[in-house]
Chains A and B, each alone.
Chain A
Amino acid sequence: MSKNTLFLKTVTELKDLFHKGEVKALEITQSFLERIKETNPTLNSFITVCEKEALLQAENIDLKFSKKEKLGNLAAIPLGIKDILTLSGVRTTCGSKILENFVPYYDATVIEKLKKEDAIFLGKLNMDEFAMGSSNENSYFGSVKNPWDLDYVPGGSSGGSAAALAAFQCSASLGTDTGGSIRLPASYCGVVGLKPTYGRVSRFGLVAFASSLDQIGPFTRTVRDCALISEVMCGHDPKDSTSSERSTPSFLKSLGKSIKGLKIGLPQEYFQEGLNKEVQKSVHNSLKILESQGAYLEEVSLPHTQYGIATYYLIATSEASSNLARFDGVRYGYRSPNSKNAIDLYFKSRGEGFGSEVKRRIMLGTFALSAGYYDAYYKKAGQVRTLIKKDFEDVFKKVDLIVTPTAADVAFKLGEKIQDPLQMYLTDVYTTSLNLAGLPGLSLPCGFSSKGLPIGLQMISPWFEEERIFEAAFLLESELKLFQKGFNIKV
């Protein structure tokens, strides 16, 4: 096999080839690094490429293989990492000027787990600054292009993670999802993206945006790859008090299971006006397939859906205003050279270091937590959050799985919404409620628009029951047979 095309393989295929001894880790890694070199100037999906480190990792793995030493479950699998997760010794920028040169000396727990399985880290992926955005246009390191059409956004905030994977620059990638930041770009770029249940994956080493909403998850080309990598990432971590102590089931075992009798809920609030006709058609087509596989469809209601966005933007910004206070230019990160005293140092370092969307959200959150406003905003948002969670609890008494579009529309053009924050915020209308409730959600490619842009479908299971998602997603993916279309990208 020519190594030129190794980058086109899925994780599962690469794993197989490597374990059979048919390809070396070094060949795989080189193939991806060349692909990155070739396409990154166009896409701008990587902020930092760890060429030397990746090649060294690959050589070590090959050496171990030749000595027949035991290798991990993801040996030789080249991954891209969203630049909000700490990888020891490599700068972690969060897409911000304020952390442009920050190099952590500790690994995120997910990175530690992936290292243990001998995965290879190709580099750090572009993103909206501090994960704040839906289009990846808020990065200090520039916008990322959608590989399906370079005039379009890849979605955000994990835009680099989705675009890099869709463009075959890595075999899988990691992103984070606070209000849809994995699912939306997965939908816009035509790849699989999972936000696990809150608490499933340790947040240690994830630079916090909104601590009670943030979750790390994988981007993959197939559902099988997603199950494989998720199994490695999940599990309790004593370094994260909010990580769950539940054991991780085998997601791979869910693949191929029948969904006969599975009750699927279709929340009416997610299928109303504003939903693009082509998106609606694709989702309905998928639902028919699921029905033909023995699932029952049932219309359900999540009555507090309309408050999701407002609630989300109050809670997320409040937490962010506090989480981002540590970037003060005192101990690390950008420090303004123009400051005359301590107060000045704060104002100027933060003023010059943060981008405008980050500043907007810090101000919003600071306001929502202020004396005299706390009850009306933060506290009220917390109460509505409870109601939204209860909506889901009620619905899951009746159905096993919920299916919705991931987004109301396909990707939009670069620059189209950047001047209108409210329009931008509304792109997350189908995704934020899950973060507020802590629920898992997966976005699966389910079709294409007439312009050839990917459409995503979202599957939601009850808390800690991701297996149900994997069962249904795997079946749907096999029936849709969209995989080959993934090669039609424009780069």
Chain B
Amino acid sequence: MKYEAVIGLEVHAQLKTKQKIFCSCSTLFNKPQNQNTCPVCTGMPGVLPVLNKEAVQRGLKAALALNCKINKKSIFARKNYFYPDLPKGYQISQYNLPLAQDGYLEIESDDNIKKIRIHRLHLEEDAGKNIHCGEESRLNFNRAGVPLAEIVTEPDFRGALEAATYVRELRSILQYLDVCDGNMEEGSLRCDANISLRPKGQKEFGVKTEVKNMNSFKFIERAISYEIERQTEILEEGGRVIQETRLWDSSKGKTLPMRSKEEAHDYRYFPEPDLRPLLVDDVWIEKVKSSIPELHPEKKARFISQYGLPAYDADILTLSKDLADYFESCTKEVQDPKMVSNWMMTELLRELKDKNQSIQNCSVSWNALAELLNLVKKGTISGKVGKDVFKEMMKRGVSASSLIEEQGLKQVDDKEFLVSAIHQVLKENPKELEKYRGGQEKLFGFFVGQVMKLTKGQANPKAVNELLRAKLKE
């Protein structure tokens, strides 16, 4: 029998706010343990939560960008369960009436545009962290109370790649909106998947499993693929899939059982009596709407039409707003979009990857790259030398002009100097010269190469070509 996978995703995005969602503690990452805590976020007796408007604003921005309907009145609820990293014994979340619902996000799938429906987006607080060290367990509550937006899709995915594409697209949007930094390794973007199979053509859903702990795009794709395969095998052998929560183990490349349906929590949700209903009016919605910038899909289309870039390049350069801004600023200075795009796609992205840097903290700023490219364009240095200069700029963070000055890399088109170099090359290679004169004109390139080598790449190749051709005709 042919099976079809049905997948829905839940993404938890940490909202970029200065303060936690229900107290005024800082949200800064990598602070000493339990430094960002207070009586509220550690669940001391008698304290009360107060909603941070900034978190609501970020949530609204994301919801509007995801084409959601905003609920003008939404309700916070308590999700009750015991865990040492959950200070109050309940998480303040939203249940019956979320901040937003019924949105969608368009992704590319098999060269088609596919609409992924967003079921809901709600606000909640993060928990702390358990740290196990040998016999001891310690707790760090710095993260407890950090605002999260939980974004839940409808079961609209049919494959692992689609799901990964969605998360990539979603992350890009959240970063564009500046509502989430999107760092999956640090956990500021987390993804869980609900996966089930059904015979192709059947409408009813099969039994699903929930897969957690997929902390990169690669793992999302691999974990879902693995889970689909696992369930297919079970069904094909006539077995039944058990409803359970499974954890992705990246070292084993497998999903492993975590808890079964019977062990599932009864969260005993009820409206949070310490908070009033959250009211959002049209003025607020409009204000947030007007602050939404051009997002990835529109920007990509514009890069293709305005700059004449190939779709692939436009896609990559617009995936992050910072990269796109870098490109546009640089292009303004250089006035050659294709050249900037080529350099960014090859030199810059490769160097960033090698050095594990991001575009935000790249040691070559957009105007430094623009200066370098303008020097290449003017012929002050050759493209080849330019590439070496770029590598050096990445390493040392110095400007192109100072490097060229320092190392004397300026391109030479002084006729006398070039002619003497050509003389030397022809003199040192009598056999080749003979062959050339005998009709092997391919050797022209060989002579050019030798001249470039002799001049350490500084010779202007165009001038060398002309002079060499003239010399050989003598």
Contact of A104 among B45, B50, B82 (CB under 8 A): B45
Q: From DSSP, what is the main secondary structure of chain B's interface residues?
A: loop
Q: Does B241 contact A (CB under 8 A)?
A: no
B246-289 interface code vs A (CB 8 A; 1 in, 0 out): 00000000000000000000101110011110000000000000
Contact (Cβ within 8 A) B270 A322: yes
Are the CB atoms of A106 and B273 closer together than 8 Å?
no
Alpha-carbon distance between A369 and B257 when the two chains are bound, in angstroms: 28
Which stretch (B86-94, B434-442, B454-462) binds chain A? B86-94
Asked whether B472 is an interface residue with its Cβ less than 8 Å from the other chain, the reply is no
**A59-93 vs B: 1/0 string, CB under 8 Å?**
00000000000000000000000001110000010
Q: How far is the CA of A241 from the CA of B270 in the complex (A)?
A: 18
Q: How far is the CA of A238 from the CA of B53 in the complex (A)?
A: 13
The yes or no answer to B199 lying at the interface (CB within 8 A) is no
Q: B45 to chain A: which residues have CB within 8 Å?
A: 86, 92, 94, 99, 102, 104, 207, 326-327
- Assess whether B42 is in contact with A331, with CB atoms less than 8 Å apart: yes
A92 CA to B274 CA in the complex, in Å? 21
- Report which of B44, B273, B275 forms a contact with A319, defined as CB distance below 8 A: B273
Binds B, one of A3-11, A147-155, A198-206, A419-427: A198-206
Q: For the side of the interface on B, what is the size category?
A: 20 to 34
Contact with B along A324-351 (1 / 0, CB 8 A): 1111101110000000001000100000
Query: B137 contacts which chain A residues (CB < 8 A)?
Result: 342
Kindly list chain B residues whose C-beta atoms are within 8 Å of the C-beta of A321.
Answer: 80, 268
B84 close to chain A: CB less than 8 A: yes
Q: In this complex, which of B46, B50, B80, B275 has the most chain A Cβ atoms within 10 angstroms of its Cβ?
A: B46
Query: When the two chains form their complex, are residues A242 and B273 in contact, meaning their CB atoms are under 8 A apart?
Result: yes
Task: Determine if A370 and B268 form an interchain contact, defined as CB atoms under 8 angstroms apart.
Answer: yes
Instruction: Please measure, in the bound complex, the distance between the C-alpha atom of A322 and the C-alpha atom of B79, giving whole angstroms.
Output: 9
Measured between alpha carbons, how far is A203 from B273 in the docked complex, in Å?
12
> Are B266 and A371 in contact, with the CB atoms below 8 A?
yes
Do the beta carbons of B43 and A239 come within 8 Å of each other? no
Chain A residues within 8 Å of B268, by CB:
321-322, 366, 369-371, 374
Q: Is A212 an interface residue (CB 8 A)?
A: yes
Q: How far apart are the CA atoms of A212 and B57 in the complex, in Å? A: 27
A33 CB contacts on chain B under 8 angstroms: none
- What residues of chain B lie closer than 8 Å to A330, measured between beta carbons? 84, 139
A370 near B84 with CB under 8 A, answer: no
Flag whether B143 is at the interface (Cβ < 8 A): no
Which residues on the B side are within 8 Å of A371 (C-beta)?
266, 268
Contacts of A211 in B (CB 8 A): 273-274
Is B80 in contact with A326, judged by CB distance below 8 angstroms? no
A370 to B267, CA, bound (A): 8
CA distance A94 to B39 in the complex (A): 17
**A469 interface hit (Cβ, 8 Å):** no
Chain B residues contacting A312 (CB-CB under 8 Å) are none
- A318 interfacial contact with B, CB 8 Å: yes
- The reply to whether B42 and A325 form a contact with Cβ atoms under 8 Å apart is no
Q: Binary interface profile of B, 21-48, with partner A (CB < 8 Å = 1, else 0)?
A: 0000000000000000001001111111
Nearest-neighbour CB distance to chain B for A312, whole angstroms, equals: 14
Least Cβ distance of B415 to chain A in Å? 80
Kindly supply a per-residue 1/0 record for chain A positions 224-244, scoring 1 wherever the CB is within 8 Å of any chain B CB and 0 otherwise: 000000000000001111100
> What are the residues of chain B within 8 A of A210 when measuring CB–CB?
273
Interface centre among A108, A203, A324, A326 (most CB of B within 10 A): A326
Question: Does A460 lie at the interface of the complex (its beta carbon under 8 Å from any beta carbon of B)?
Answer: no
Q: Which residues of A contact B88 (CB under 8 A)?
A: 325-326
Interface centre among B50, B268, B269, B274 (most CB of A within 10 A): B268
Interchain nearest-CB distance for B71 vs A (Å): 19
Q: Is the CB of A346 within 8 A of B82?
A: yes
CB of B212 closer than 8 Å to a CB of A: no
Q: Closest approach, in angstroms, between the C-beta of B72 and any C-beta of chain A?
A: 18
Given contacts A318-B270, A342-B84, contact A239 B50 (CB under 8 A): yes
A106→B39 contact, CB < 8 A: yes
Q: Which of chain B's residues have a CB closer than 8 A to the CB of A370?
A: 266, 268
* B43 A322 Cβ-Cβ under 8 A: no
A378 at the interface (CB under 8 A from B): yes
List, in ascending order, chain B residues with CB within 8 A of A378's CB: 270
B105 at the interface (CB under 8 A from A): no
Q: What residue of chain A has the Cβ atom nearest to residue B275's Cβ?
A: A241
Instruction: Report the minimal beta-carbon distance from B392 to chain A, rounded to whole angstroms.
Output: 54
Fill in one digit per residue for B347-389: 1 if any A CB lies within 8 Å of its CB, else 0: 0000000000000000000000000000000000000000000
Write the residues of chain B forming the contact surface with A, with a CB cutoff of 8 angstroms.
39, 42-51, 78, 80, 82, 84, 87-90, 137, 139, 266, 268-270, 273-276
Q: Which 7 A-B pairs have the closest CB atoms?
A: A325-B89, A211-B273, A369-B268, A212-B273, A207-B45, A207-B46, A326-B43
A-B contact pairs, 23 of them (CB 8 A): A92-B45, A104-B45, A108-B46, A205-B46, A206-B46, A208-B274, A212-B273, A238-B50, A241-B50, A242-B275, A319-B273, A322-B80, A322-B268, A322-B270, A324-B89, A330-B139, A331-B42, A342-B137, A369-B80, A369-B268, A371-B266, A371-B268, A374-B268
Give me 12 other A-B pairs in contact (C-beta within 8 A), A208-B46, A330-B139 excluded.
A92-B46, A106-B46, A108-B46, A204-B47, A211-B274, A240-B48, A241-B274, A242-B276, A318-B270, A322-B78, A322-B270, A328-B82
